[in-house]
Amino acid sequence: TGIGAAYLIGVLNTFFPGAGFGGEKAIFFESAVLLTAFIILGKYLEALTRGRTSEAIRKLMRLQPTVARVVRDGEEHEVPAEAVAVGDTVLVRPGERIPVDGVVLDGYSAVDESMLTGESLPVEKQAGAAVMSGTLNKTGAFSFRATQVGSETALAQIIRLVEEAQASKAPIQKLADWVAGHFILGVHALALTVFVFWFLAGYRLFFDPASSFILSPGVLGEIGVFGFALLLSITVLVISCPCAVGMATPSAMMAGTGKGAEYGVLFKGADAIEAATKIDTVVLDKTGTLTRGEPSVTDVLPSEGFPPEDVLRWAAVAEVASEHPLGEAIVRAARERGLEVARPDSFQAIPGHGVEADWRGRKILLGTRRLMALRGLDTAGEEGRLQALESEGKTAMLVAVDGALAGLVACADTLKPHAREAVAALRRMGLETAILTGDNRRTAEAIARQVGIDRVLAEVLPDQKVAEVERLQAEGRRVAMVGDGINDAPALARADLGIAIGSGTDVAKETGHVILLKEDLRDINAAFEVARATMRKVKQNLFWAFSYNTLSIPLGAGLFYPFWRLVVSPELAALLMAVSSLSVTLNTLLLKRFTPRSKGGL
């Protein structure tokens, strides 16, 4: 509008100087040219800087291999990566990128997955291991069976999710868009008001021919009432900057979703970033989230006169023929410690109590107090150790050999690495934590004590998890639910923020609003830190955009002209407008330097 007005008045005053539109003193061709130049420069720099916020997507797209080496009819063929079909056998050599998702059939190697998951160390791959498209094979050669190709690969799904998140709008952005849309109409109305005021009264009351432009040695001279009023009106149109208001939020959201993707944190939309900053309570599922989801041997406590290795070996021999998860854990622990685990000569499971076995002439019992009592053994001397283990949420089993108590073996669902560290970081961020589990309260409280969780929600059936989330929300809490994304799906969907952890390759199928590619619990902290840093940038951008317009529009309208006799030229107004937009994007780019504390940042 400003450029058009300046050009039109220039044409009229050039060909019809006596028409009453300011005459020769009100020819603004140079203003129109410089306005155009500054606006184009500003848009170019804005596009350049905004393009850098999409660097995460470009990095991911560069990971996509273009060719694959497949075995068909017993012969090796090199084909385009998009031509690989599910079920094809694909060969990968050292230094090559994996073209599609699959499962290793043969060979051994270490694969660098840092570009997708943020995992810094190469991950060992052997038969049965899953591999992902775009990751880099480091050392060995191997073959794998393609399971997901084309748009179904993990890399393609991640790119699609990041693109969708960057295109989505947060609630705060919708407000900014509404303000920017009405702002344009308001500025045009204000420019008309400025023209009318200076044309009817302001020029006569305040105009001084010795007035000058800001940052210019020249003076206005006898410009005439129409030319002066039009000059200030055009300046108001040009100096106002709805662009800065409109781009304050999306530029930061694009940078934030890209930054999250760098660390294996996928926000499904800009609304997830905003929601994360409002969370005050984090509910963590126990099994598979805080813990490994499978029991492990935690303690082997021999009775006097019995070596711990023998106690564990006897327990393993008794359980080697069992399919019970606790038995499998005992056998696995014995083999990991290099103990021979032979099959017993005879074996009998006693439902609800334990097992009984004969091995090399010895009678082995493994089980509860009740089993020992049934076989005439007194367990009173072990009661103190039994209760101590059970108070820690462990399952304690008694081992007896040839009618004598040999010791205790305890199993528990062990914590994942960094669980304590992650919960402590959440508490430092001012978030209350809760554990949600179907386990008994004693076990849940033991796990909660180990990791430092504030609140225990125990003995909750899977279909009751949604009700527990709703109950917390009814207390006025903003709840984030962290789960494995499968049996926790309803609770993840109901929470204000659902975080699906350790999603691996099925990222598009998750219910969560935030998807963590790895099972590293510290990524929960990274998600909250990235979200908070992003919203800080949004608020900084909006503050700058509104502050600029609040200060610049009165200056351009001549509000201070009666005191200083200075006028903002349209050219300077255009430069200020371009700088305003550029400052917003440059401030957003500072987010590229952000590193979450959980990833080694300050």
Token representation of residue 111? 């694969």
Residue 413 exposure: Cα atoms within 13 Å on the Cβ side: 18
Compute the distance between CA of residue 274 and CA of residue 267 in angstroms, rounded to an integer. Answer: 10
Residue that has been written with the tokens 């439902």 in this structure: 351
Compute the distance between CA of residue 273 and CA of residue 255 in angstroms, rounded to an integer. Answer: 11
How many CB atoms are located within 10 Å of the residue 240 CB? 27
**Helix 55-62 to helix 29-53 angle, to the nearest 10 degrees?**
50
Residue 282's closest CA among 516, 440, 482? 482
Residue 521's closest CA among 288, 269, 295, 257? 288
Compute the distance between CA of residue 208 and CA of residue 195 in angstroms, rounded to an integer. Answer: 17
Residue that has been written with the tokens 């006025």 in this structure: 476
Q: How far is CA 402 from CA 359, 361, 379, 399, in A?
A: 11, 9, 15, 10
Angle 250-251-257 from CA coordinates, rounded to 5°: 85
Q: End-to-end distance of the chain based on CA atoms, in angstroms? A: 47
Residue 447's closest CA among 588, 548, 455, 17? 455
Residue 358 among the catalytic residues: no
DSSP state of 416: P
Residue 416's closest CA among 542, 501, 299, 535? 501
Output helix, strand, coil percentages for the chain, rounded to the nearest 5: 50, 20, 30
Q: What are phi and psi of 568, to 5 degrees?
A: -85, 120
Residue 508's closest CA among 258, 154, 264? 154
Q: Is the dihedral of CA 343, 344, 346, 350 positive or negative?
A: negative
Angle 151-155-161 from CA coordinates, rounded to 5°: 80
Catalytic residue among 88, 101, 285, 520: 285
Alpha helices in 54-146 (DSSP H): 55-62, 114-117
Q: What is the 3-state secondary structure (H, E, C) of 365-408?
A: EEECHHHHHHCCCCCHHHHHHHHHHHHCCCEEEEEEECCEEEEE
Residue 300's closest CA among 273, 350, 336, 268? 336
Compute the distance between CA of residue 435 and CA of residue 440 in angstroms, rounded to an integer. Answer: 12
Token representation of residue 141? 């050669």
Q: How far is CA 53 from CA 47, 166, 305, 586, in A?
A: 10, 10, 68, 10
500 and 515 in contact (C-beta within 8 Å)? yes
Residue 594's closest CA among 201, 255, 118, 164? 255
Residue that has been written with the tokens 């073209």 in this structure: 99
Enzyme catalytic residues? 285
